[in-house]
Structure 1
């Protein structure tokens, strides 16, 4: 490889014995060429290292990566290994081609450009080098969260939550995937800052939790949702609406009794209000969380485990605490339509829901192919942009009425 690079005069080539010798912080590097091998984990970890340096502001630009493999196969086979499609598993330099393809896809999805070339195909290497020489480098990610958090004062957040100023609740419809009939909705909070516009939930919710305003925000959403449920009841429509709540919110003293009293006062059955446990905060006291969920279910409220994935923590929670429903997280739904392994995971979650006798909702459905796939896998309910975007309250009521 060194001999082939020495003949390329449009690059300033620097050789290092190990990736730790790279002086990425001192000078910008356009392309990093590293051999992929089971005994050289540094090459596989290179994208993670670049992302960490970039996120910390220590890179002027993110280099492109060329991974080299020892392969006697023609160029087309190497392209398959690079992560698009392949039908059979091979072992390349001690690494499964399927695992390498998956790692390559994840690297590209993270914003780093990477290609795989065979060391004994110099023309292929030259083509990739020429391609990368004319390809812009991805800019180091600028965290919108960090920028907005610096601009937002805690007093502004406290004032907005305490007064409800510039807050509103929108509704994300949920549909039966076979009949396209609306069967429920999820309530989502929105805060339109007078100067910064709509504040993303990824910024608002952590600040609310940090400031201890989660129960106050829940009360605002709960009041609005009950009003919407009353309006639906007048239309003769009985569908549940879900409210997101952290474990800390659910463990608030007297929550079940207070919610039940408000629903009874509004003349509504408690089953119309669904509580969706988010994973934004975990309860330090699982016993208290279990008691709170049991109290809510005893009052007739439906409890959903939100953003369910196949992780050990959520599986353990599902095994120890009774729920009425679980929602497949958006990443799992998105991946199911792209990778066979991911669709198998979703199929396993469907079987798990049946075993525990739980209703199952898929979140983040973005295309019609995902609707068909989920239907085929046995998930009958879903939400996402392919079905409907979050709607303002009047638009939601008009849609339901039609």
Structure 2
């Protein structure tokens, strides 16, 4: 029989050739059943731990290849396993990222994180008191977080060993390393004030937008990048909240706007009519005289306003929706196109669409990334496509990260998209060179 220890948190050394399996359960009978299912295989080194705390200690100190646990309405620890593993990985406390195998008394077939093919609805509605649909979704979320989950029937004498043997030959993602201190704690307010005052280290890059059918570039989104002299590249997820917190959002917008108008001028001289979008919070859009100032700058550059698109983000809500409506109406009256960014990320975007007219909306990347994973996600995208047609809005799909999604989104009616599967953000010169014949 395989090397097996009952409810013993002490770390045992296993031969390097064996796959380390930990059974997590406070039920000794369950652990005994599992070891019986595996028979006398010399492939596995099996250990039984009876609590999450013991398991977390184990994961910090030594590699675990597979964690087995019973999926049951009364076994909450099993459902929490992917969360704990993901959290430990994020904080850099894992030796390795284990695979997770949930077992139930009877499962018609292995439940995986593959996209929904419709078979889930033919299964029994629950496994040990937990909805199979919810389990499928939970497994897919775990997969997205970097934790692979399989669900198998423990009573099948063949299925469980086969799944474990398959996982034994499957590699593990590299765990994250612990960081001495988070970057957001190292960047100070003085750093942000200085970079906005001088512009040193700031630059604008362009995320191309494509016609998904012809793969022709039809637009771009301007994104800000900041290279700190000491800490290197600072992501927008750190910079933008600090800018908003300090009330310097209009100053950053002005920097990006100036750069984009220069890029639009370069494109115009080459005979390229490509619109570029700039992100702006509601507070930025409500700044007094913004529409007039932008129109004057475009006129001075000899450019039509329609080439500069404004994307309203949800980063900061408007204090006065009436003022936001007036600002958007003024921008559109001057000839600028106004886009509603991150549609589907929250209820606020739908409420704004119902009350304020826009020219375009962008489907949030989180919805797009889920489009191939379940039929519900595809139906949501189809519904948004229909909504865009109803309101006569241009629709841009962002966050496209794999080639398969491009074809699927096209079939669902999405015509324009952006994302890493199409092109990563480009430096301004590289963007212009890409468009030149």
TM range (shorter): 0.7 to 0.9
State how many pairs are aligned.
Answer: 393
Alignment of 1:119-158 (within 5 A): 119-121=154-156, 124-125=159-160, 147-158=182-193
Partner of 1:289: 324
Task: State how far apart, in whole Å, the 2-side matches of 1:26 and 1:147 are.
Answer: 24
Residue 31 of structure 2 corresponds to residue 2 of structure 1: yes
Change (3 A) 1:400 1:128: closer
CA displacement at 1:209 relative to structure 2? 1.9
C-alpha change, 1:238 and 1:134, in structure 2 (3 Å) is closer
Aligned residue number for residue 264 of structure 1: 299
Question: Partners of 1:147 and 1:239 in 2: how far apart?
Answer: 38
After TM superposition, the structure 1 = structure 2 runs for residues 77-116 of structure 1, keeping only pairs within 5 Å, are 77=109, 79=110, 81-84=111-114, 87-88=118-119, 89=121, 90-91=123-124, 92-93=126-127, 94-116=129-151
1:256 Cα offset (Å): 1.7
Deviates more, 1:366-375 or 1:257-266: 366-375
User: What whole-Å deviation, never above 9, does each CA across 1:81-120 have from its counterpart, x for those lacking one?
Assistant: 2343664321232444343222212112212343323222
CA distance in 1, matches of 2:179, 2:295: 39
DSSP 3-state at the match of 1:323: coil
Contact 1:168 1:189 in 2 (8 A): yes
**Pairwise CA distance, 1:351:** 0.4
Cα distance in 1 between the residues matched to 2:348 and 2:201:
36
1:398–1:40 distance in 2 versus 1, CA, 3 Å: same
Counterpart in the other structure of 1:168: 203
- Shift in alpha-carbon separation, 1:124–1:287, aligned structure 2, 3 A: same
Tell me how far 1:383 sits from its aligned partner: 2.0
Measure how far apart 1:393 and its partner are. 1.9
Matches of 1:356 and 1:304 in 2, distance apart? 13
Partner of 1:359: 394
Unaligned runs of at least 5 residues, structure 2: 1-29, 39-43
Separation in 2 of the partners of 1:52 and 1:215?
36
RMSD over aligned Cα atoms = 3.3
Instruction: Pick closer, same or farther for the CA change 1:12–1:48 going to 2, 3 Å.
Output: closer
CA distance in 1 between partners of 2:312 and 2:303 (Å) = 22
Bigger drift between 44-53 and 211-220 goes to 44-53
Distance change in 2, residues 1:231/1:285 (3 Å):
same
* Distance change >3 Å, CA 380–CA 62, structure 1 → 2: closer
Q: Tell which deviates more after alignment, 172-181 or 344-353.
A: 172-181
User: Does the aligned pair in 1 maintain the 2:92–2:178 contact within 8 Å?
Assistant: no
Q: In 2, distance between residues paired with 1:400 and 1:134?
A: 45
CA distance in 2, matches of 1:28, 1:385: 33
Q: Distance in 2 between matches of 1:38 and 1:26?
A: 25
Answer whether contact 2:208 2:418 (CA < 8 A) is retained: yes
Quick one: which of 284, 287, 308 aligns to 1:252?
Answer: 287
Q: Contact between 1:310 and 1:345, CA under 8 Å: does it hold in 2?
A: no
Deviation of 1:206 after TM superposition, in Å, equals 2.0
